[in-house]
A and B are shown apart, each in its own frame.
Chain A
Amino acid sequence: MNFLQARRNPSLRIGAAIVALVLLCAVFAPLLAPRDPYLQNLDNILQPPNAAHLLGTDLYGRDVLSRLIYGTRSSLAVAMLASTIAVLSGLLIGLIAGFSGGIVDRILMRIVDVLLGFPRLFILLLALGFGYPSIWFIVIVLALFSWMEIARIVRGQVRVVREMLYVKAAQALGLSNAKIVRKYILPNVIGPVIVAAAMLIASMLIVESSLSFLGLGIQPPEASWGTILNQGRQYPVAAWWLSTFAGIMIVVTVLGFHLLGDGLRNYLDPKTRGQQAEK
């Protein structure tokens, strides 16, 4: 996984740069977008990229570039909110499972196994196909089926750290569990969790856009990369700019989060850092 040279860490830099750019794009969307993303102009529909509309116009004559820039907001918001909820619940469940051990641990890990085994898109299709696809509903459903990996990582780390002598000593000294978690456990788990979170955001972006593509994610007229793609799907050649540019936005963003995750893994993991230094 470490396609990096010793000490230099290009994937971390490139990944961080892409993610920062996309985030800026989302925050400053109103300043960056050349036009109103919701303004329809029926005299000007499905225009290929030109000087007035750099990335063309869509079915209702709306400016695609502006919609893509605004779409950054909803796509990122859904992916990041869902990831945050998933990470926090994974962290909590992992801590509980790792700390309590025994029957609680076994039940929780069994649930993790079951949920990990289920095809996520399939389950989401079921849930969203029947529910109300508001942004919050999508976020909750995405999070509900995504916390397992984090829980597994945290639980594994907790079980290792718990056996360390310094933790045993802290327990013997009478430190409360909450304090032990805060002072000794969390610093040990936070690295792998951050890496997993970056990867999670990447996979959320893909899943969310797949759902929107199937018509089940974020609903029009709200601009999101998936909905723009869904619109372009009906005209893959005649209006190639719709699906092409929206797809590029998704790929670049997902790539950014993957690179960031890979880079962070190498940066945070002293083991691979050592390996690289040896070479």
Chain B
Amino acid sequence: MLAYAGKRLLGAIPLIFIGLTLTFFIIHWAPGDPVALFVTSTTNVQAQEVIVERFGLDQPVFVQYLKWLERVVLHFDFGNSFHSGRPAARLIRDVFPATLLLTGLALLLGWVLGLALGVVSALYHDRGIDRVITTVVLFFYSMPGFWIGLMLLSIFAIKLDWLPASQLKSVFHSQLGAAGQIWDYVRHLFLPVLTLGLTLAAIFHRYTRTSMIEALNADYLLAARARGVPRRKIIWKYGLKNASIPLISLLGLIIPELLSGVIVIETIFSLPGMGRVMVEAVLGRDYPVIMAASTLAFIAVIAGNFLADIGYALVDPRIRLE
């Protein structure tokens, strides 16, 4: 098992490397000049050259790439943001917890809701309640995440004014007691988590329903039923356990989905997280920040795939032998 995990991990490193190399060259070769954003028509040429030199943009892209790689691998230094001048890695580190909290809670909500609905759908397969659930879920599956967010925002945060519309915490957050601070976070995160969670629940429902129906129709469960194994045990112990195997592969697919979700949801709810930093960095041509954020994103994606592979190998010993 360890050998399998080690092999998988070794295989993942080149993928991260290739992904980051591609990203580096795409953003440096693409049109759009980071210096142009600091320069007006009256800026003199010397000043421009100073900026170009300071950002290291006067060197060929390939040299820039090697330098970047050297700094990252040897010192874990991603360079300083073009805009704030702060180290890009620290910038990302500061906002990452908020994103982690948002995605973690949304994943939990989506998983619980999707799994529960999926099991109910599978048990009442093709009957009234399944049709209602499946139709509702299909609606949510067809909604762009940002639209769900926008609708929730305008109804609950602006029109009814029950919840705050933006940011992670209130201005007076530090003056609150411990319980008050937690409550403050809950109020701020409720709508973003709901938005992302609903999208995820729709995905989880589809997968759970399909694999649960398959599992419940399997011959060994027919045999178990014939032998008089209680229905509850068949559903929860044998059915769900076997239906969960295909869900493991979702682990690999869900992280790209989460990253995409975070980009739009953090933009709508003005949450200071990875997604918003990413959008701002792209619009502001902030190369060091883009590269730092991309590194984290690629590692997250690869880690998800790695966990999915390991999970599969754990539940299905045949895979380890390949």
Contact = CB atoms under 8 A, between A and B. Distances in A.
A251 B142 contact: yes
B151 A126 contact: no
Interface of A: 1-5, 114, 117-122, 125-127, 129-132, 202, 206, 209-210, 213-214, 229, 232-233, 236-237, 240, 243-244, 247, 250-251, 254-255, 258-259, 279
B59 interface: no
Given A122-B259, A247-B150, A130 B26 contact: yes
Indicate the member of A1, A119, A210, A279 with the most B CB atoms within 10 Å: A119
Contacts of B31: 130-132
A129 B210 CA distance: 38
Contacts, number: 129
Contact of B267 (A119, A131, A214, A244): A214
Complex A-B, nearest 7 residue pairs according to Cβ-Cβ distance, in ascending order = A130-B30, A121-B260, A129-B282, A236-B154, A119-B259, A119-B256, A255-B142
| Residue in A122, A209, A244, A247 whose Cβ sees the most chain B Cβ within 10 Å | A122
Contacts of A229: 146-147, 150
Contacts of B209: 1
Given A119-B255, A130-B285, A233-B150, 6 more contacts: A3-B135, A119-B259, A126-B26, A126-B290, A210-B146, A214-B267
A120 B210 contact: no
Main secondary structure of the interface of A (DSSP, over half): helix
A1 B150 contact: no
Nearest to B153: A236
Contacts of A4: 126
Given A240-B154, A251-B142, A130 B27 contact: yes
Given A3-B131, A214-B267, A131 B150 contact: no
- How big is chain B's contact interface, by range? 35 or more
A122 B297 contact: yes
Nearest to A1: B210
A5 B126 CA distance: 7
A49 to B, nearest CB: 16
Nearest to B158: A237
A117 B15 CA distance: 10
Contacts of A209: 144, 146-147
A118 B260 CA distance: 10
B103 interface: no
A259 B252 CA distance: 26
A243 B147 contact: yes
25 contacts: A1-B206, A3-B126, A3-B131, A3-B135, A114-B19, A119-B256, A121-B263, A121-B264, A122-B260, A122-B278, A125-B278, A125-B279, A130-B26, A131-B30, A214-B264, A214-B279, A232-B150, A237-B159, A243-B147, A247-B147, A250-B144, A251-B142, A255-B138, A255-B142, A258-B141
B260 A120 contact: yes
Contact of A213 (B153, B264, B305): B264
B65 to A, nearest CB: 16
A214 to B, nearest CB: 6
A231 to B, nearest CB: 12
B233 to A, nearest CB: 25
Nearest to B301: A117
B139 interface: yes
B302 interface: yes
A264 to B, nearest CB: 15
B151 A247 contact: yes
A279 B217 CA distance: 13
Contacts of B30: 127, 130-131
B283 interface: yes
Given A118-B256, A119-B256, A236-B154, A126 B282 contact: yes
Interface string B235-267: 000000000000000001001110110011001
Given A118-B19, A120-B256, A258 B142 contact: yes
Residue among A117, A237, A244, A259 with the highest chain B CB neighbour number at 10 A: A117
B171 interface: no
A2 B206 CA distance: 11
Contact of A122 (B32, B131, B154, B263): B263
A130 B260 contact: no
Contacts of B26: 126-127, 130
B158 A236 contact: yes
A232 B18 CA distance: 39
Contact of A118 (B142, B144, B301): B301
